[in-house]
């Protein structure tokens, strides 16, 4: 059991969107937790960026000669 105080303005907004505040708050907390679990850490993002850079270099190398083939110089 957890007791929290909600500012009046938020309580008014909450009342305007639901009749069951407790259920709404629990759902919002679950949604926020799930979102945080999906979010990558800065270390994971840096690793993904590094892998993308290496992959892009390989693609550029593969297409290096085709980029200029059959192009008019005008």
pTM: 0.52
Phi-psi sector, 39: left (phi>0), alpha (psi -120 to 50), beta: beta
**Percent of the chain scoring above 90 in pLDDT:** 38
pLDDT at 54: 86
Which segments of 1-74 does DSSP mark as H helices, in order?
8-17, 21-38, 42-62
Please identify which residue in the block is written with the tokens 């969107």: 17
pLDDT surpasses 70 at 5: yes
In whole angstroms, give the CA distance from residue 57 to residue 74.
28
pLDDT surpasses 70 at 21: yes
């Amino acid at each position: 059991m957890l007791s929290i105080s909600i500012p009046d303005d938020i309580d008014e907004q909450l009342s305007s969107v639901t009749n069951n505040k407790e259920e709404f708050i629990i759902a919002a907390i679950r949604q926020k937790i799930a979102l945080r679990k999906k979010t990558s850490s800065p270390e994971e993002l840096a690793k993904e960026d590094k892998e993308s850079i290496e992959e892009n270099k390989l693609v550029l190398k593969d297409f290096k000669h085709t980029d200029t083939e059959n192009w008019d110089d005008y």
